[in-house]
Amino acid sequence: MDTTIEQAVGILRRNQLKITKQRQALIDYLVTYKDHYVAISEVDEHMRTLFPGMSHNTIYRNVKEFETLGLLELKAQANQTLVKYQCDFKHQHHHHFICSNCGKVQELDACPLDAFEAQLPGCTITGHRIEFYGLCADCTAKLGASKSLSK
């Protein structure tokens, strides 16, 4: 039974990508944020403290490459791309609840795709994104349910 990191390295290997110390460190770092989105600029900043002078290009390129391998999930935000380690490499279909306060991501199951398909006769549905936002149980307990937060 491989660790999460060994799984990731295995994926790189299977795709004939070289295992560089920069990529190792990138994976290590992202795994520690496994269930949170991180701004890519923070990733950039972190990598450049580990490897002073590391090229922005390298960081951004690897993040994108890792996404196409299914290692990471990217999420466009205003003026920022967010990065999250992929919850499951088997790509089991699921959706997310994201805490607006602590950033924690929880997985949800059940997918209402079928219900919506019926409303789109003649269309070809190639994908969908379903996300819920709010306060996780911990943050609800701490902050109360009365906070007004971004949708």
Q: Structure tokens of 71?
A: 């290692």
Q: 129 contacts which partner out of DNA, a second copy, Zn ion, none, CB within 5 to 8 A by kind?
A: a second copy
Q: Is 109 in the site for a second copy (CB under 8 A)?
A: yes
Residues 6+ apart with CB under 8 A from 92: none
Q: Is 103 in the site for a second copy (CB under 8 A)?
A: no
Q: Is 78 in the site for DNA (CB under 7 A)?
A: yes
111 in a known ligand binding site: no
How far is the C-alpha of 120 from the C-alpha of 123, rounded, in Å?
A: 6
SS3 per residue for 42-70: HHHHHHHHHCCCCCHHHHHHHHHHHHHCC
How far is the C-alpha of 14 from the C-alpha of 107, rounded, in Å?
A: 27
In the bound state with a second copy, the residue whose beta carbon lies nearer, of 14 and 151, is 151
Residues in binding contact with DNA, number by CB under 7 A: 26
Which one-letter DSSP state was computed for residue 83? E
Q: Is 31 in the site for Zn ion (CB under 5 A)?
A: no
Q: Which residues bind a second copy (CB under 8 A)?
A: 74, 76-78, 81, 95, 97, 99-100, 106, 108-110, 112-113, 115-116, 119-137, 139-141, 145, 147-151
Applying CB under 5 A, the residues found at the interface with Zn ion are 111
